[in-house]
Amino acid sequence: MISSRPTLKARYVFPVGSDPIPDGEVTIDQGQIVAMGRHMASGEVEDLGNVALLPGLVNAHAHLDLSDLARPLGTPGMPVVEWLRCVINYRLMTPASDHGVTRALEESLRLGTTAVGDISQTEPPAEPLGRLGVDLTSFLELIAPTPERIESQAARAERHVEAARASGLWSAGLSPHAPYSVHPDLLTRTVALSAERHVPLAMHMAESREELELIRHRRGPFREFLERLGAWTSELCPTGIELVDYLRQLALAHRALVIHGNYLDDASIALLAAESERMMVIYCPRTHAYFGHDAYPLEKMLAAGVSVALGTDSRASSPDLSVLAEMRFAARRHPSVARSVILELGTLRAAAALGRAHVLGSLRPGNRADLVAVALSDRDAADPHELLFEGDGDVVAVWCRGVRTEGTANERR
Ligand SMILES: [Zn+2]
């Protein structure tokens, strides 16, 4: 690692939450941002040239352990339930190791992401976290469709929360996987543990029409899938329980991330808007496109006041872990959403989803000095966000905790 200089200057500094600053400067000291503005530095200034300087990007939802995959599993447009079979087979054939997580943390940082909400199978490896400084919330995945697995999963959840406290290198979260894979009693216990220990909870919800069919009618491809696995029980998805009832339960957690929400109904959107301080929907744009779902209700949710943030999901359904690529993709898919909001979805709002907005996701004095420089084209635009999202400039430098990361230095100066 190379030490950063005290003041960085860029064609545009994007503080996030306020207007971009042309010829902006950011001063870093002791791993923190200490000043930001124009023409303020009297000491040494490093002019980064034609770049946008942004806060470190935040990935609110990933499965880093699937990062050894060279390409997504299955084929584009396949039903989620078929794809899950591919994931199960892949996991059965691939021995568990920390390799994918380490590689994913390195890739994330190289692509400008300095904080990640990861769905994990185990405690994260300490070495890459200590070396890279990425801010990691590790949401332990809990799966127990049938009652006999509840106790062991609840015990894993307790141990995970304890392990994070002992480590100090990462934060704990809990992830009851989805309505079709978590027994109602385990969900109740996990929500209670989240509230009691003040850890966030993440659950895949309303991802596919087939999931809604299972919840509403207890039939369809998911039921067949579970029956074939010997994992269907009459206690799963109880009669009379609607999607919004799951969300009411998640509202009792310390904080809840609703992953995907591709098919949220009006009642669910109204509840999420009312609970927007503590409940967030995580949109994974390229994964959404991979499965060929109906148009994502981003505009509708934002208009209703729902908190939304971006995630990449895993390399099993997305080509890489780039939050910048997700933002650019979302900007193309949702041209009526303000570009400043698109930027917030991958920075400040994602940091808020992880409970980290007090130190990450925006540039302001006192925040952690996590920054990313993105190359811009030479043209001008009335709105500088256009230069960021409509170009394809690469990440050219990344700072994490005030330290410039190796391998991102000066390629495009
Ligand atoms: Zn996921």
Same domain, 224 and 87: yes
- H or E element in which residue 400 lies: strand 395-400
189 within a domain of the structure (yes/no) = yes
- 412 in Cβ contact with 395 (< 8 Å): no
- Measured CA to CA, the distance from residue 327 to residue 342 in angstroms comes to 6
End position of a domain, from candidates 333, 353, 373: 353
**69 alpha carbon – ligand 1 mean position (Å):** 15
**387 alpha carbon – ligand 1 mean position (Å):** 30
Torsion of CA 88, 89, 94, 98, to 10 degrees: -20
- Measured CA to CA, the distance from residue 257 to residue 354 in angstroms comes to 8
**204 alpha carbon – ligand 1 mean position (Å):** 6
Quick one: which of 325, 400, 324 has its CA closest to 359? 400
161: phi then psi, degrees, rounded to nearest 5 = -65, -40
**147 alpha carbon – ligand 1 mean position (Å):** 23
174 within a domain of the structure (yes/no) = yes
pLDDT value, residue 257: 98
Burial class of residue 208 in the structure, from the number of CB atoms within 10 Å of its CB (0-12 exposed, 13-18 middle, 19+ buried): buried
**225 alpha carbon – ligand 1 mean position (Å):** 18
**pLDDT tens across the length of the chain (413 residues):** 444 457 999 999 999 989 999 999 999 999 999 999 998 766 789 999 999 999 999 999 999 988 888 888 888 888 888 888 888 888 888 877 788 899 999 999 999 999 999 999 999 999 999 999 999 999 999 999 999 999 999 999 999 999 999 999 999 999 999 999 999 999 999 999 999 999 999 999 999 999 999 999 999 999 999 999 899 988 888 888 999 999 999 999 999 999 999 999 999 999 999 999 999 999 999 999 999 989 999 999 999 999 999 999 988 888 899 999 999 999 999 999 999 999 999 999 999 999 999 999 999 999 999 999 999 999 999 899 999 998 789 999 999 999 998 765 443 32
> Please, which residues have CB within 8 angstroms of residue 96's CB and are 6 or more apart in sequence?
65, 121, 122
**162 alpha carbon – ligand 1 mean position (Å):** 24
**Structure tokens belonging to residue 13:** 């500094």
Determine how β-strand 171-176 pairs with β-strand 135-142: parallel
Residue 19 belongs to what domain range? 2-55+363-404
Same domain, 71 and 34: no
Quick one: which of 54, 72, 52 has its CA closest to 63? 72
**Structure tokens belonging to residue 337:** 């959403």
Total count of domains within the chain: 2
Instruction: Look at phi and psi of residue 206 and say left if phi exceeds 0, alpha if psi is from -120 to 50, else beta.
Output: left
- 50 in Cβ contact with 12 (< 8 Å): no
Same domain, 158 and 259: yes
- 124 in Cβ contact with 99 (< 8 Å): no
Give SS3 for 171: strand
Provide the H-helix boundaries in 32-79. none
pLDDT value, residue 41: 61
End position of a domain, from candidates 335, 353, 371: 353
409 within a domain of the structure (yes/no) = no
- Measured CA to CA, the distance from residue 326 to residue 342 in angstroms comes to 10
**310 alpha carbon – ligand 1 mean position (Å):** 12
308 within a domain of the structure (yes/no) = yes
Same domain, 226 and 101: yes
Same domain, 327 and 381: no
Same domain, 133 and 215: yes
**282 alpha carbon – ligand 1 mean position (Å):** 10
Same domain, 225 and 255: yes
> Please, which residues have CB within 8 angstroms of residue 402's CB and are 6 or more apart in sequence?
4, 28, 29, 30, 31, 32, 368, 369
413 within a domain of the structure (yes/no) = no
141 within a domain of the structure (yes/no) = yes
The full length of the chain comes to: 413
Same domain, 367 and 381: yes
**287 alpha carbon – ligand 1 mean position (Å):** 9
Q: What is the CATH number of the domain that holds 287?
A: 3.20.20.140
389 within a domain of the structure (yes/no) = yes
- Measured CA to CA, the distance from residue 376 to residue 25 in angstroms comes to 17
**Structure tokens belonging to residue 386:** 């256009």
**312 alpha carbon – ligand 1 mean position (Å):** 9
Tokens 């299972």, located at residue: 214
Same domain, 50 and 65: no
DSSP 8-class letter at 334: -
**86 alpha carbon – ligand 1 mean position (Å):** 14
- Measured CA to CA, the distance from residue 389 to residue 355 in angstroms comes to 26
Quick one: which of 56, 126, 129, 83 has its CA closest to 315? 83
- Measured CA to CA, the distance from residue 200 to residue 193 in angstroms comes to 10
Same domain, 245 and 99: yes
> Please, which residues have CB within 8 angstroms of residue 184's CB and are 6 or more apart in sequence?
235, 236, 238
- Measured CA to CA, the distance from residue 377 to residue 105 in angstroms comes to 28
**392 alpha carbon – ligand 1 mean position (Å):** 26
Same domain, 374 and 306: no
358 within a domain of the structure (yes/no) = no
- Measured CA to CA, the distance from residue 51 to residue 53 in angstroms comes to 6
Tokens 């109880």, located at residue: 238
Neighbours of 240 (CB within 10 A): 6
**61 alpha carbon – ligand 1 mean position (Å):** 7
Q: What is the CATH number of the domain that holds 399?
A: 2.30.40.10
Ligand 1 is an ion; its neighbours by CB within 5 Å are 313
Same domain, 180 and 284: yes
**202 alpha carbon – ligand 1 mean position (Å):** 9
End position of a domain, from candidates 353, 373, 395: 353
- 389 in Cβ contact with 328 (< 8 Å): yes
Tokens 């540039």, located at residue: 363
